[in-house]
A and B are shown apart, each in its own frame.
Chain A
Amino acid sequence: MSNIADMFFNLDIMRQALPLLMQGLVMTLKLCAVVIGLGLIGGLFLALAATSPRRWLRWPTMALIDLMRALPPLVLLIFIYSGMPFAGVQMPAFTAVAVAFLLNNSAYYAEVYRAGLQSLPSGQWEAARATGLSMPQTLVHVIIPQAVRNVLPDLLSNTIEVVKLTSLASVVSLAELLYQANMARSVTYNSSPLVLAAAIYLVLLWPCVRLVSRFQRKLSI
């Protein structure tokens, strides 16, 4: 039992590793800001293209979304990080990670938005157009606000997935939270830094997970 405490909950080692993990956390948050921010915007445009009445726009977009949903994000990341240099395209780890996860997550966000857009009856479009709003005005003032409100829980749950996803960046040696924790583990031969990293992820995400559950319950009634 004391062995478990020593190997996994060693406060001394946790205290030593904390500054390193905090640096990692900053990197994780930066990555999240980029991927979530751009993903929310990119996903919206993809969703609008995927629900467009124009076939030449709809089909390629759907194909791209499905492609991104079928590829594991880690495979995409490795492809961009270690494969692209062969074609002469070299980029820093942060850019590679951001590009890979952005591609992946825009597709996921797009699916969420698409469900929201399709949940609106076409009367909303017609009514807005009939009152004299232009297409873009209808989108911005009538369609998007309602669509987003309808899928808010799914947007939140996808955002949780993005934060969890950033841990994969450790595989390409980007110094984010999990990478730093794993470094500290290999230096100290002790798993406490990993447990501390897990605790930090929990503090960040547990409230969000609760919120999603609360949302789901409310919607289902």
Chain B
Amino acid sequence: MERFLEVFFAPQVFARYAPDVLYAMMTTLWLGLVIILAGIGLGLVLACLRTAQCWWLTLPIVIFADVMRALPPLVLILIFYFGLPGLGLTLSGPLVLFIVLTAVLAAFAEEIFWAGLTALTRGQWEAGRATGLSFFQTLIHVALPQAVRMGIPSLVNRALAITKMTALGSVIGVKEILAVSSSAQAMSGSATPLTMAALAYLAIFLPAVVLARWLERRFSWRV
């Protein structure tokens, strides 16, 4: 037991690297926040564009959503980070992480919103139009609020899963929690920084998981 504590909870190692890990937590937090905002925003716009029902809008959106949902994000990250410089376009690690994870979240969000929109009965649209609202007004004031409400539980879970993927940034040198603690582990020759990484992620995501659980109960569509 003592040996276990010494390996995973060595106090002096803890104190030595706590500031670094705290700083890395800020990086993870703001990356996660920006990805959630941009990803869900883009997903919402794509789902709305799909309601226009012209094939030259729908087709690219469906292909984008399918490909982004089928590909492992790490493949895209490696292609963007190591492939693009060959074309003279060098993107920084955080930017690559942001672009890829935003695209992946947007794809899932689009599908969730679209599923919500198609779940609405035609009557909702017809009633909206009949009261004199334009197509666009019906979309914004009648259809979307209901679709978004229906999608909230899946959306929260998906957003969480994708924000956790910021840990993939450690592969391309983004100084987030995992990268910083991995190098601390190598430097200190102790496993304690890895424990710190786990604790840091728990501090961020455990409240989020509990919140997701609550939202699921609150917004669940009981049949």
The segment out of A12-20, A38-46, A123-131, A201-209 that lies at the interface is A201-209
Specify which chain B residues have a CB less than 8 angstroms from the CB of A190 in the assembled complex.
86
Contacts A78-B178, A86-B191, A185-B82; is A178 near B74 (CB within 8 Å)? yes
Instruction: Determine how close the nearest CB of chain B comes to the CB of A189; give it in whole angstroms.
Output: 8
Is B34's beta carbon under 8 Å from chain A? Answer: no
Specify which chain A residues have a CB less than 8 angstroms from the CB of B73 in the assembled complex.
164
Contacts A87-B7, A198-B79, A201-B75; is A66 near B210 (CB within 8 Å)? yes
Is A93's beta carbon under 8 Å from chain B? Answer: no
Is A160's beta carbon under 8 Å from chain B? Answer: yes
* Cβ-defined partner of A75 (8 Å) among B67, B78, B86, B178: B178
Instruction: Determine how close the nearest CB of chain B comes to the CB of A173; give it in whole angstroms.
Output: 12
* Cβ-defined partner of A7 (8 Å) among B83, B118, B194: B83
Instruction: Determine how close the nearest CB of chain A comes to the CB of B167; give it in whole angstroms.
Output: 4
Cross-chain contact A167 with B72 (CB below 8 angstroms): yes
Specify which chain A residues have a CB less than 8 angstroms from the CB of B164 in the assembled complex.
71-73
Residue of B nearest to A185 (CB): B82
Specify which chain B residues have a CB less than 8 angstroms from the CB of A3 in the assembled complex.
86-87
Specify which chain B residues have a CB less than 8 angstroms from the CB of A7 in the assembled complex.
83, 86-87
Specify which chain A residues have a CB less than 8 angstroms from the CB of B8 in the assembled complex.
83, 86-87
Contact with B along A94-122 (1 / 0, CB 8 A): 00000000000000000000000001000
Cross-chain contact B194 with A79 (CB below 8 angstroms): yes
Contacts A83-B8, A83-B191, A86-B7; is A74 near B70 (CB within 8 Å)? no
Instruction: Determine how close the nearest CB of chain B comes to the CB of A176; give it in whole angstroms.
Output: 11
Inter-chain CA distance A14–B210, complex, in Å, is 46
Cross-chain contact B79 with A78 (CB below 8 angstroms): no
Is B66's beta carbon under 8 Å from chain A? Answer: yes
Cross-chain contact B119 with A220 (CB below 8 angstroms): yes
Instruction: Determine how close the nearest CB of chain B comes to the CB of A166; give it in whole angstroms.
Output: 8
Inter-chain CA distance A53–B121, complex, in Å, is 38
Inter-chain CA distance A71–B161, complex, in Å, is 10
Inter-chain CA distance A71–B87, complex, in Å, is 36
Given A119-B223, A165-B72, 16 more pairs with CB closer than 8 A: A69-B209, A70-B201, A75-B197, A83-B195, A86-B191, A87-B4, A87-B7, A163-B72, A164-B71, A178-B74, A182-B82, A191-B79, A191-B86, A206-B67, A209-B69, A220-B118
A–B Cβ pairs within 8 angstroms, 24 of them: A7-B86, A70-B205, A72-B165, A72-B166, A72-B178, A75-B198, A78-B182, A79-B197, A86-B8, A168-B74, A170-B74, A182-B78, A190-B86, A191-B79, A197-B75, A198-B75, A198-B76, A198-B79, A202-B70, A206-B66, A213-B111, A217-B115, A220-B116, A220-B118
